[in-house]
Amino acid sequence: ALILVNNKISKISPLAFAPLKKLERLYLSKNNLKELPENMPKSLQEIRAHENEISKLRKAVFNGLNQVIVLELGTNPIKSSGIENGAFQGMKRLSYIRIADTNITSIPKDTLGQSQTTLFMSTQARQSNCCPAAQLNFEKHVMLLSVLRLGLSFNSISSVENGSLNNVPHLRELHLNNNELVRVPSGLGDHKYIQVVYLHNNKIASIGINDFCPLGYNTKKASYSGVSLFSNPVQYWEIQPSAFRCIHERSAVQIGNYK
C-alpha cells in the first residue's frame, strides 16, 4: 500500500507510479488534488481519494484499471457534468463506489458498467439550504443491472420520476432518507426484489394503498424486511392497513416520531 493521506498534494506526475508495478492499494485522501493522477498502476485493487478538490472524472484515468474493487471519491466538488460518459465501464471488478457528499444530482448516461453492487451517491449539504430540491431521474439508457444497494440519502430530492426504478431491476435496498420527498417513490409496488426502503426524514404526508405492494395478492414479490417512514408528517392512523399487505413482519415497518 502507498499512503499519501493528509498532505497538500495538488498534482501528481503521470510517471510517479511507474516503478510500482504491483501496488494494490493507493490512498490519496485529504489532499488538494483537482484530478486523479494518470497512469496509476494496473495492479491497483483499492483507490481512496476522498476529501480532495476533484471536480471531474475522466475516462482515460481509469483505462486499464481492471483489478480495482473499491473506489472512494466522497467529499469532492464533483458535478454530474464532470463525469465523462463511460468513466467506470472498463472496471470489470469494481463492486463498491462511494461518491457521497459531492455536487452530483444525476447519473450521467453510460457512466456505470455492469459489475457494481453497491453505489452510494448521497450529496449531503455542506451548508444548510445550499441545494435546491431536485428530481431523481436515471436516464432510460442507464441500466444499473447489478446494483443491489442504492444510497441517495441526504440530498434535496423532491420526487422520483416514474419508471426510474425499472433501471435498477435487481435492487434490494433503497436509501432515500433525509430528502424532500412528498410521496413514496412510484414503482416500489411493482419492483420484485426491493426488501429495504429508507424514507424517514422526508415530507411524505400520505401513503397510498398500492405504494409498496402490487395490486394482486398473489403477485410474486420479495417480502420487505425494513421500511422506515418515521419523521414524516403522515399519521399512522391515516394509513390503510392494506398498504402493507405484502409485508409479513409487522416490526419491519417503522412509523411515527414526527415533530
Q: Is 209 exposed, middle or buried (0-12, 13-18, 19+ CB in 10 A)?
A: middle
Q: End-to-end CA distance of the chain, in Å?
A: 48
Closest listed residue to residue 143, CA positions, set 189, 104, 107: 107
**What is the rounded CA–CA span in Å between residue 150 and residue 79?**
18
8 A C-beta contact, residue 41 and residue 20: yes
The three-class DSSP label of residue 150 is strand
8 A C-beta contact, residue 83 and residue 108: yes
The H or E element that residue 25 is part of is: strand 25-27
What phi, psi does 41 have (nearest 5°)?
Answer: -55, 135
Q: Which amino acid is at 152?
A: L
8 A C-beta contact, residue 89 and residue 109: no
The answer as to CATH 3.80.10.10 being correct for domain 122-259 is yes
175-194 burial, b at 16+ Cβ within 10 Å, e below that, comes to bbbbbbbebbbbbbbebeeb
Q: Is 111 exposed, middle or buried (0-12, 13-18, 19+ CB in 10 A)?
A: buried
Tens digits of pLDDT across the chain (259 residues): 999 999 999 999 999 999 999 999 999 999 999 999 999 999 999 999 999 999 999 999 999 999 998 999 988 998 878 888 878 877 888 877 887 777 766 555 556 555 666 666 655 443 333 445 556 665 544 455 567 888 788 777 888 878 888 878 888 999 999 888 999 999 999 999 999 999 999 999 999 999 999 987 666 688 899 999 999 999 989 999 999 998 988 899 999 765 5
